[in-house]
């Protein structure tokens, strides 16, 4: 009898591992890979750019991909959260769209200012390289502030295209909890 219970305990312990691995690969791996290819890799590239033009190009790619992925008609009703009280303007794709519009406008203004400085039409009080690095650092900081470039896209993507991956904690964790409890009980019986 103890051998049989020990076998059940071992089986349940192995099942915990298998469920976790399968859930990750079956439910989470593919959507996260697609998300990274479409959005996250470009956010990293935008941050790592050494020029304003390069940063602008990567942010534009994210913006275009967002509008192609989600469409532009219904962005007011797409949020980064499923929780109704948190479905506010600042958590919507409309806010993300406005953010992209504003940061691109700021980058365009900075590129124009850079060209004016280099052509001698504008004077600055610090050396050009210092101005350039400080301004670029400011943009980098902006791309990481309060969720960074993808604060609304992140949750919205997984809710829209991979709801099982978005809500995995709600179904996988209880399932694993039940299996862990059963395995623990089986181990206790096996050790008696």
Highest mean pLDDT among 19-28, 71-80, 102-111, 141-150: 102-111
- Mean pLDDT value across residues 91-117: 96
What is the per-residue pLDDT for 17? 77
The domain of 162 spans 2-191
What is the per-residue pLDDT for 162? 81
- Provide the strand spans (E) within 61-141: none
- In which band, very low, low, confident or very high, does the pLDDT at 115 lie, cut at 50, 70 and 90? very high
pLDDT at residue 140 tops 80: yes
For residue 130, is it left (φ>0), alpha (ψ between -120 and 50) or beta? alpha
Which tokens in the block code for residue 58?
Answer: 């990567």
C-beta atoms surrounding 55 within 10 Å: 25
Nearest-angstrom CA–CA distance, 143 and 44:
9
Give pTM, 2 decimals: 0.78
Nearest-angstrom CA–CA distance, 53 and 74:
30
Residue 72 has what DSSP assignment? S
If one compares 165 and 10, the residue with the highest pLDDT of the two is 10
Nearest-angstrom CA–CA distance, 144 and 64:
20
Nearest-angstrom CA–CA distance, 78 and 30:
22
Distance between the two ends of the chain, CA-based, in angstroms?
11
- In which band, very low, low, confident or very high, does the pLDDT at 16 lie, cut at 50, 70 and 90? confident
| Cβ–Cβ under 8 Å, residues 12 and 183 | yes
For the chain, the domain total comes to: 1
pLDDT at residue 169 tops 80: no
- How high does pLDDT run on average in the chain? 87
pLDDT at residue 56 tops 80: yes
């Amino acid at each position: 009898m103890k051998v049989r219970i020990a076998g059940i305990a071992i089986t349940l312990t192995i099942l915990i591992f298998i469920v976790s691995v399968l859930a990750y690969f079956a439910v989470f791996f593919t959507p996260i890979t697609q998300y990274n290819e479409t959005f996250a890799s470009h956010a990293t590239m935008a941050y790592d750019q050494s020029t304003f033009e390069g940063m602008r190009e990567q942010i534009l790619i994210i913006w275009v991909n967002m509008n192609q992925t989600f469409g532009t008609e219904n962005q007011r009703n797409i949020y980064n959260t499923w929780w109704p009280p948190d479905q506010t303007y600042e958590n919507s794709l409309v806010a993300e769209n406005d953010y992209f519009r504003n940061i691109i406008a700021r980058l365009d203004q900075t590129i124009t200012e850079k060209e004016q400085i280099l052509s001698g039409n504008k004077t600055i009080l610090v050396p050009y390289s210092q101005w350039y690095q400080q301004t670029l650092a400011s943009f980098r900081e902006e791309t990481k502030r309060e969720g960074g470039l993808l604060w609304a896209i992140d949750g919205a993507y997984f809710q829209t295209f991979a709801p099982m991956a978005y809500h995995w904690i709600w179904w996988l964790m209880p399932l694993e909890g039940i299996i862990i409890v059963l395995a623990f009980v089986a181990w206790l019986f096996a050790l008696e």
